[in-house]
Amino acid sequence: MVIGIPKEILSGENRVAITPDTAAKLIKLGFEIVVETNAGLNAHFLDESYLQAGAKILSSAAEVYSAADVICKVQKPIVDDSVNELKMMKKGTLLISFFFPLNYPQIAKESAAAGVDVIAMDFIPRITRAQKMDALSSQSNLAGYKSVLLAANHLGKIFPLLMTAAGTITPSKVVIMGAGVAGLQALGTAKRLGAIVEVSDVRTAVKEEVLSLGGKFIEVEQDASLQDERGYAKEQSAEFLQKQKEVLFKHITQADIVITTALIPGKKAPILVSEEMIKNMKHGSVVLDMATEFGGNCELSEFKKTVVKHGVTIIGEANLPSLIPTQASELYSKNILALLAEIGKGGTVNLDMSNDVVKESLITHQGEVVNARIKPLVSQ
C-alpha cells in the first residue's frame, strides 16, 4: 500500500504527519511513501531527507492523493468552497488524522459519503497498549510547555525570586486551570522557571500529581466524581461551575499569569475566567486560553488572536504545538508509526473491528459512519 503525505494547508499549521525518519521505518514495514514537495519544510524537514529515506517526492497534492491508499495528515480535511480535500481522495482511501468528530460530526458524514475510511487520532483509546499512539497526549505535552513560554514572553516580569543588591524581586504567580497532560507540563515548566504555581481541576484524583510536581492544588467542594470512564473531565453542572468561579476568583485575580486548558470532548469549552475576573486582575497580567478552537475558557479570549482588555493581555493561540513544529511532528509521526505497526502487516492495513484500537478510533468505513459515539450525531 502507498502512504501519502500532503502538505498541510490550514493557515498556521507548520507540522507534517510523517518525518523522514518515520518514513524510512514505514518503508521497512513494507509500505511505499509518497510526499508532496515541501510538505515538511515548515517543520524543517527537507525533501532531500525524504528522498534519502526512500520516499518519492511528488509535485502536487493532487498527485499524492491520486497515488495514495493511505493518507496521513495532522489536521482534519478542509471542506469548503475553495478546496475540498475529501474529493481529492480516492474512494476507499484510509485517512489518518486528527478529526474531532464529536465537535465536527458533519465532516464524518461527508467522509462516509465520499467513501473515505477515517481513523481519528484523537479517538485512540487510553489503554496501555495504545500509549505509543496517543497523539492527543504527545501534542498536549508540547502545548503545555509552549503555553508557559508564550505567556512569560508577554508578562512584564520575571518568574523566579531574585535577591539583588538593588532589592528583592518576588516570584511571579501562575494559576493553571486543568491538570491534564497540558496542564501538568505547564506546571512543571513554570516551576522550573521559578514561579509559584497553583492548579485547579474538577478531578480531585489529580491532586497528588499536582503536589508531586511542586504545585498547590485549588480544591472546590464537590458531591460526585467529575471524571468519566475514559479519564476525561465530564461536563459540570451550572451549580458546580458557579461554586468553582467563587473559589477561583481570589486565586485568578491575584495571579500574574493564568493558563486555561479545560476541554470536554464534544462540548463547548467551559467558561472559567469571566470578564469580571479580568477586570479585577492586576494591570499587565496575562491570560492564555488553550481552548479557543472550542469556544474558549476565558469570556474575553478571541480565536487565534492576542488582545489586551482591561489592561490584561489575553492570548487565544489555538495551535500551540505548531509553534514547535519539529518536535511536534516527530512525536506525532511516531504515534502514527505505532498505529500502523499495530494495524498493518507486510505493507497492508487490516481494519479489524475486534481490535480495541480500531474499534474505538475508526470513524467511517465502507461508506458508513461506524463509530458508536458518532453514529447518533450524524443521524440527527
| Catalytic residue numbers, as ranges | 126, 131, 134, 137, 232
Distance between CA atoms of residues 321 and 141, nearest Å: 9
Of 147, 93, 95, give the one whose Cα is nearest residue 119: 95
Q: Are 173 and 195 in contact (CB under 8 A)?
A: yes
- Quick one: cell of 111? 467522509
Beta bridge partners of 312: 309
Which residue do the cell numbers 479489524 mark?
A: 352
Q: Are 85 and 77 in contact (CB under 8 A)?
A: yes
Distance of CA 333 to CAs 11, 211, 321, 343, Å?
20, 32, 13, 15
Of 357, 359, 334, 337, give the one whose Cα is nearest residue 130: 357
Q: Are 353 and 371 in contact (CB under 8 A)?
A: no
Which residue do the cell numbers 499569569 mark?
A: 257
Distance between CA atoms of residues 161 and 310, nearest Å: 27
Output the DSSP codes for 79-92.
BSSS-BHHHHSPTT
Contacts of 192 (CB under 8 A, 6+ apart): none
